[in-house]
Amino acid sequence: MNQSAAHKWLGGKRLSNPRLSDLEPLFEKRLAANFTLLDQLFQELYPGRENDFSSLLERLASLFRARPRELQLQDLQRLGAGNWYQEGKWVGMQLYVDRFSASLSGLEARLPYLEDLGINFLHLMPLTRRPKGPNDGGYAVNSYTEIDPRYGKTEDFLQLTERFREKGICLMLDFVVNHTSDEFSWAEKARQGDPKYQAYYYTYPDRTIPDLFEAHLPEIFPETAPGNFSYIPEMDRWVMTVFNTYQWDLNYSNPEVFLEMLGNLAALANQGVDVVRFDALAFLWKKIGTSSQNLPEAHKLIALFRLCLQVVAPGVIILAEAIVAPLEIVKYFGEGRLEGNECELAYNATLMACLWDAIATKKTSLLYKSLLSLPPKPPEGSWINYIRCHDDIGLGFDDNHIRQLGWDPGAHRRFLLDYYCQRLGWSPAKGAIFMFNPLTGDGRITGSAASLLGLEKALETGQADALDTAVRKIVLMHGIILASEGIPLIYAGDELAALNDYSYLKDADKADDSRWINRPYHDWKAVASLKKGKGPGAQVFGQIRSLIGLRRQLPVLGAAGKTHLHLTGNDHLLLFERRSETDGVMVIANFDAEVQVVNASWLARLGYLAEGGYHNLTDHSRGKVQSGLLEVPPYALMWLQLH
């Protein structure tokens, strides 16, 4: 379709807001550029709903009109810069505002700390209103735009986002796209018997259809929320609640739901959000006879959201929170006709899970198999690389890869649960199991990075060697994500080697959710003592801060550097290279407690040794190669620069 066709769909009406008069032509150009695919996807998802498509186009015009001029101009700058999110300067942190700084105004006061560390990309956990009781850490939403009073006022948030723009800080917020809380206005109206809003959710008068769904739906929280439907006595109906009973799944087969949620998405973007994290997006489309995850319709729906953003707010990008099977993750960048029209960012959950596997096994075999089997992402896509987050560590490895290594998939997962969840006396890890399913034997792992990597146990035993090993592991893991292709995301507290927080066990609303063990209050006393330079927290902070600074000095670690995995035959080592036409960095990581070696002549041929010596950028150490082999100390991280 051309521009005149798109203009016709708008009823021949030009935008009328004089404040944006000089930007009005951009709307029609963007609509014309995206019109054909937008039309196709809408008709495929909602056949015969031409009136709703006309409503969508009218809504796009009003949403464009509502976007603040400052953000409109930022959109233009980002479009001119290309894939701005792929610049190597971005280093992120994920945090809970109430646990990091008490409030939004408190966060503004803590910005110097983040700047000193080198953080300029922030993922703030949900800030909007939520139920007072259990609310899944804010992922049960009562509003998509109203700030919860515990954090401050909407004015505080708008002031903070303005401050972020002044300082060049990129802001990511969640868009809980799959469900609302049972206190959301739509749910309240549905509970009161309004058929319009009952159709906003999956509600049924009896168990006939729910049982057909249940035959193929997995249980997400089998311990605390078994099943996928809840009976609501007030309306005498069953409602789909895939996650928790107080989280009602939205029915996107109803086009009115999409239109309403598009408005909520644009309102969020218009508050100054740069990256929108689509929460649980793999679950967006439900279909009887399937697991209702990763369905083709879900991908079309995500692309529909993205195309609409490209029209009204093209400077805002989407992150896929798709913690799914490795081969499914890449699809959320978009493939086929949807390539470049789904999400610009995705969590590199495969790398994360496989790094934890390598720590437990001291072998990188599964890590290599998993990474080498991933199809390439499109060039405009980028990863978010992380070690820990607010959530659990899932074990979603490919069973075939585990079998190819000669391991039994079930037994291997049980070993990982035992290793990290205090079921093996010799393991240094102190974690907790999350959502163990006795019927399948499946479970997930939670705990802080430092405790999972042995620091808590080492402090309890007072063993100096164990303490040093734990610090080495923490730096090793973070050094890998800081050198990997994409945006590194550090979980708040990990830079201080924060330990497990067991206080959640005293809170009735949290005691049955072991993920709270890794949601500590930020230790500002520890921050105040950093200058003394003593203790594991100070060691970890200093080394991570140094690595962040080093990353910014090496342009090859940004978008220009392509990643090459190198197999050496030593399954205790991970070697990958970031290489551009003019520069390169070789990353070497030893996951074993013993010294490992790399063939020096091979490294020399690639250009990473000079005159028989090496320079490890991560600790500024220099040394000579002995007997033609580069020795890599236990749990050591090396970044070697191309000569």
Q: What is the pLDDT of residues 554-607, one digit of tens each?
A: 999 988 889 999 999 999 999 999 999 999 999 999 999 999 999 999 999 999
Q: Is the residue at 565 inside a domain?
A: yes
Of 530, 565, 581, the residue that ends a domain is 530
State residue 2's pLDDT score.
Answer: 44
pLDDT of 1 above 80: no
Q: Is the residue at 481 inside a domain?
A: yes
Q: Are 165 and 74 in contact (CB under 8 A)?
A: yes
Its pTM surpasses 0.85 = yes
Q: Mean pLDDT across the stretch 154-158?
A: 95
Using CA atoms, how far apart are residues 244 and 246, in angstroms rounded to an integer? 5
Question: Is the domain of 462 the same as that of 385?
Answer: yes
Query: Quick one: what percent of the chain has pLDDT higher than 70?
Result: 97
Q: Is the residue at 36 inside a domain?
A: no
Question: Is the domain of 387 the same as that of 477?
Answer: yes
Question: Is the domain of 374 the same as that of 514?
Answer: yes
> Exposure pattern of 607-616 as b/e (b: 16+ CB <10 Å)?
ebbeeeebbb
Model confidence at 8, pLDDT cuts 50, 70, 90, reads low
Question: Is the domain of 413 the same as that of 499?
Answer: yes
Question: Is the domain of 431 the same as that of 483?
Answer: yes
3-state secondary structure 239-267: EECCCCCCEEEECCCCHHHHHHHHHHHHH
pLDDT of 18 above 60: no
CATH number at residue 482: 3.20.20.80
Mean pLDDT estimate for the chain: 94
**Catalytic one among 98, 148, 174, 321?**
321
Range of the domain at 589: 556-641
Q: Is the residue at 324 inside a domain?
A: no
Helix (H) or strand (E) holding 52: helix 50-66
Question: Is the domain of 524 the same as that of 566?
Answer: no
pLDDT of 612 above 90: no
**Catalytic one among 98, 174, 182, 279?**
279
State residue 627's pLDDT score.
Answer: 85
Of 487, 514, 530, the residue that ends a domain is 530
Q: Is 321 a catalytic residue?
A: yes
pLDDT: which is higher, 435 or 91: 91
Question: Is the domain of 636 the same as that of 573?
Answer: yes
Q: Is the residue at 394 inside a domain?
A: yes
Q: Is the residue at 576 inside a domain?
A: yes
State residue 4's pLDDT score.
Answer: 52
Question: Is the domain of 432 the same as that of 499?
Answer: yes
Amino acid at 317: I
Angstrom distances, CA of residue 26 to CA of 18, 310, 538, 604? 14, 11, 51, 53
pLDDT of 224 above 80: yes
Q: What is the pLDDT of residues 451-500, one digit of tens each?
A: 999 999 999 999 999 999 999 999 999 999 999 999 999 999 999 999 99
Using CA atoms, how far apart are residues 223 and 219, in angstroms rounded to an integer? 9
Q: How many structural domains compose the chain?
A: 2
Q: Are 157 and 147 in contact (CB under 8 A)?
A: yes
Q: Is the residue at 540 inside a domain?
A: no
Question: Is the domain of 525 the same as that of 565?
Answer: no
Question: Is the domain of 356 the same as that of 413?
Answer: yes
Q: What is the pLDDT of residues 124-133, one digit of tens each?
A: 999 999 999 8
**Among 42-46, 134-138, 229-233, 291-295, the least confident range:** 134-138
Question: Is the domain of 605 the same as that of 508?
Answer: no
State residue 110's pLDDT score.
Answer: 97
Of 513, 530, 547, the residue that ends a domain is 530
Report residue 78 as tokens: 């980002």
Model confidence at 358, pLDDT cuts 50, 70, 90, reads very high
pLDDT of 12 above 90: no
3 state DSSP class of 372: helix
pLDDT of 442 above 90: no
Question: Is the domain of 480 the same as that of 591?
Answer: no
Q: Mean pLDDT across the stretch 496-519?
A: 95
CATH number at residue 590: 2.60.40.1180
Report residue 192 as tokens: 């009161």
State residue 5's pLDDT score.
Answer: 52
pLDDT of 16 above 50: no
Q: Mean pLDDT across the stretch 597-620?
A: 91
Q: What is the pLDDT of residues 526-555, one digit of tens each?
A: 999 998 888 999 999 999 999 999 999 999
State residue 624's pLDDT score.
Answer: 86
Q: Is the residue at 577 inside a domain?
A: yes
Q: Is 188 a catalytic residue?
A: no
pLDDT of 242 above 90: yes
Hey, CA dihedral for 170, 172, 173, 179, is it positive or negative?
positive
Residue-by-residue DSSP string for 379-441: TT-EEEEES--SS-B-----HHHHHHTT--HHHHHHHHHHHHTT-STT-----EEEEEETTTT
CB atoms within 10 A of CB 166: 8
